[in-house]
Amino acid sequence: MSGLADIAIVTADALAGATPAIDALLTELIQHVERLKKTGESTSIDLRALLSQPEIEHLKATLGQGEIQASLQAFGPSSINETRVPGVWFVEHRNAEYQTIAELLMVTLCPDILFTPVENLSESRSLLAGLITNNEGE
Amino acid sequence: MAKNITLYEALASRGITRRGFMKFCAATASMMALPPGAAAAIAETLGKTLRPSVIWLSFQECTGCTESLTRADSPSVEQLIFDFISLDYHHTLQAAAGHAAEEAREHAMTMGGHLVLVDGSIPTLAGGLHSTIAGITNLQMLQETVENASAVVSIGTCAAFGGLPAAKPNPTQAKSVQELMDEGLIARKPLINVPGCPPIPSVIAGVLAHYLTFGVPELDKLGRPKVFFGDSIHDRCYRRPFYDQGKFAKTFDDEGARKGWCLFELGCKGPTTFNACATTKWNQGTSFPIEAGHGCIGCSEPSFWDAGSFYKALSQPTEPLDLAAGAVVAGAAIGVGASIANRAKKNAAKSQHETATLKDLEK
């Protein structure tokens, strides 16, 4: 036996497909996109607190893939993808064992985690200096 | 790890970058069932928080609560939080033993402001002599450790509500931490109950993270954090639509069971049990008991062990708020029907009952 699918009972897959919760979330997204456009205010939604895993998969398929697919390696891998709806991002954080630790839907121009942390800039000068082959003038 | 470093510094020393820390905070917010926007506040607070001193006391317990937290097989968020605290005393886990162990506890106590975690209930019969550690009763140890503590967290149903040691006939007159505070036997401190047999590890860690960042979380009338114990298992159960449709498994191997129908008639206590199993799940989010085909036994509720058979249906469906009036009547009829059927089964079993002897048990 290799997993839940091998147990002869129907699990959460029974509920896969469009559900009222997904429709409600899509309606909510319209409000968030409008607010982003008007005020620049970003929003994050914790999908695991609202939807079952099959619903999340269905929502992911519904929103599709947009122009940007970013990956991050920090405290395990993360994927940060803009959906085909501009300004709506699907963010999945995994730990070092590839277990999902957070699944977020973000309505933003760019997720904060993609920006270079200002704290890291202090390292940049010394790193760059170290890359210069003739750095005697330093 | 030194005590005067912040969580961010502790994570940085493990090679976790600023982005990794932000991700950690996003996962912590998710684990604490807070809105994702709280991640920034968590990052700011945990970036400044120094390691708290924690004393973990184990009394009349089975060590399942400690196992729950420490048996995770990967470096999870909860482990990182647990690694961060300064666990100055835990007699199951610590390397020190005997006088050295007790000295560690006494030293942490004299500093004051520590957090006390308790698993297990506390015997009170005969002055508490039924369980002693290092020559003093559990009650005495709790009294002196709580005296200067900043807060107490009862880990597991035994510490929170008495649990199995307090089950009838409660031979040691076991009591919960809450009862001891109410009776004035220990100092009253902010108390958080994290019941479960055992509690979900990420819930334990989430409560610790909440305490470190925002203080004592909002509690329900039983002292449980609402973020984790605010919804019933039933309300968040993926089988709930089958309940609403009146589709119930009648046995563990019938067609309804195979189709994943509601386990209400098989004794599921989901409607009266408040916990996060259906959303947080177990074994790194793999599943929870109902997903494995067994009803909830209600282990995070007071006196669950004395609440009748795990396989006896609740007398009637509860809180069918979303149902039309007709469906409510139908649901109630199903519940009454199940109750009558169970009574008939019980009577039949009673008539065939033979008293078991010691000889039978040795067969």
Distances (CA, A) of B25 to A43, A102, B21: 16, 10, 6
Nearest one of B192, B191, B207 to B276, comparing CA atoms: B207
Q: What integer pLDDT is reported at residue A85 of this predicted model?
A: 97
Percent helix, strand and coil across chain A, each rounded to 5? 45, 20, 35
Q: What integer pLDDT is reported at residue A29 of this predicted model?
A: 95
DSSP codes of every residue in B273-294: -B-SHHHH-BTTTTB-GGGGT-
This complex has an ipTM of 0.76
Rounded Cα gap, residues B248 and B192, in angstroms: 36
Q: Is the pLDDT of residue B163 over 90?
A: yes
B68-92: average pLDDT: 71
Q: Is B110 exposed, middle or buried (0-12, 13-18, 19+ CB in 10 A)?
A: exposed
> Which chain B residues are closer than 8 Å to A75 by Cβ?
16-17, 20-21, 23-24
Under a CB-based contact definition with an 8 Å cutoff, are residues B180 and B122 in contact? yes
Give the chain A residue whose CA is nearest to the CA of B255. A9
Q: What integer pLDDT is reported at residue B91 of this predicted model?
A: 78
**Strand B132-133, strand B191-194: pairing:** unpaired
The structure tokens listed for B339 are 């109750």
Q: Using CB atoms, which residue from B23, B238, B279 is nearest to A113?
A: B23
Residue of higher predicted confidence among A6 and B285? B285
Rounded Cα gap, residues B21 and A75, in angstroms: 8
Rounded Cα gap, residues B226 and B244, in angstroms: 25
The structure tokens listed for A81 are 């993808």
Choosing among B8, B9, B11, B19, which should be mutated to test the A contact, i.e. which has the most A CBs within 10 A? Answer: B19
**Min CA distance, B241 vs chain A (Å)?**
9
pLDDT tens-digit profile, chain A (138 residues): 456 556 555 554 444 567 788 899 999 999 999 999 999 999 999 888 788 778 888 999 999 999 999 999 988 899 999 999 999 999 999 887 787 888 999 999 999 999 998 888 888 888 998 999 875 554
The structure tokens listed for B161 are 């509500």
Q: Using CB atoms, which residue from A11, A78, A101 is nearest to B291?
A: A11
Q: Quick check: A2 contacting B, CB < 8 Å? A: no
Specify the DSSP element, H or E, that contains B91: none
Q: Is the pLDDT of residue B298 over 90?
A: yes
Q: What integer pLDDT is reported at residue B41 of this predicted model?
A: 85
Distances (CA, A) of B96 to A23, B56, B65, B92, B100: 57, 14, 21, 10, 6
> Which chain B residues are closer than 8 Å to A112 by Cβ?
22
Q: What integer pLDDT is reported at residue A2 of this predicted model?
A: 53
> Which chain B residues are closer than 8 Å to A74 by Cβ?
16-17, 19-20, 23
Q: What integer pLDDT is reported at residue B269 of this predicted model?
A: 96
Q: Which region among B1-5, B191-195, B229-233, B292-296 has the lowest average model confidence (pLDDT)? A: B1-5
Tokens 């199993």 found at: B277
Rounded Cα gap, residues B105 and B91, in angstroms: 10
The tens digit of pLDDT for each residue in B329-347 reads: 444 454 455 555 555 655 5
Q: Quick check: B10 contacting A, CB < 8 Å? A: no
Angle B98-111/B138-146 helices, nearest 10 degrees?
30
Q: Give A69's strand partners.
A: A81
Give me the residues of A, 40-99, that contact B with CB < 8 A: 43-46, 48-49, 52, 72, 74-76, 78, 93, 95-97, 99
Q: Is the pLDDT of residue B236 over 80?
A: yes
Max CA distance (Å), chain B: 69
Residue of higher predicted confidence among A17 and B282? B282
B104-133: average pLDDT: 91
Q: Which region among B37-51, B206-220, B248-262 has the lowest average model confidence (pLDDT)? A: B37-51
B129-157: average pLDDT: 95
Confidence grade of residue B348 (pLDDT, cut at 50, 70, 90): low
Distances (CA, A) of B61 to B6, B56, B97, B323, B339: 33, 13, 19, 42, 34
Q: Is the pLDDT of residue B311 over 80?
A: yes
Max CA distance (Å), chain A: 72
Q: What integer pLDDT is reported at residue B326 of this predicted model?
A: 44
B177-186: average pLDDT: 97
B153-172: average pLDDT: 96
Q: Is B128 exposed, middle or buried (0-12, 13-18, 19+ CB in 10 A)?
A: buried
**What single-letter amino acid sits at B22?**
M
Q: Quick check: A19 contacting B, CB < 8 Å? A: no
Q: Which region among A107-121, B13-27, B31-45, B72-86 has the lowest average model confidence (pLDDT)? A: B72-86
Q: Quick check: A112 contacting B, CB < 8 Å? A: yes
Confidence grade of residue B281 (pLDDT, cut at 50, 70, 90): confident
B202-229: average pLDDT: 90
Under a CB-based contact definition with an 8 Å cutoff, are residues B16 and A75 in contact? yes
Q: Is the pLDDT of residue B102 over 50?
A: yes
Confidence grade of residue B327 (pLDDT, cut at 50, 70, 90): very low
Under a CB-based contact definition with an 8 Å cutoff, are residues B299 and B197 in contact? yes
Give the chain B residue whose CA is nearest to the CA of A8. B258
**Min CA distance, A21 vs chain B (Å)?**
13
Q: What integer pLDDT is reported at residue B52 of this predicted model?
A: 81
Q: What integer pLDDT is reported at residue B319 of this predicted model?
A: 45
Specify the DSSP element, H or E, that contains B232: none
Rounded Cα gap, residues B361 and B156, in angstroms: 31
DSSP category for residue B317: -
Strands lying side by side in the sheet with A88-94: A43-46, A100-107, A88-94, A77-82, A69-73
B308-324: average pLDDT: 65
B22-38: average pLDDT: 80
Cis link prior to B169 (omega < 30° from 0)?
Answer: yes
Q: Using CB atoms, which residue from B16, B238, B258 is nearest to A12?
A: B238
- Could you give the percent of chain B with pLDDT greater than 90? 45
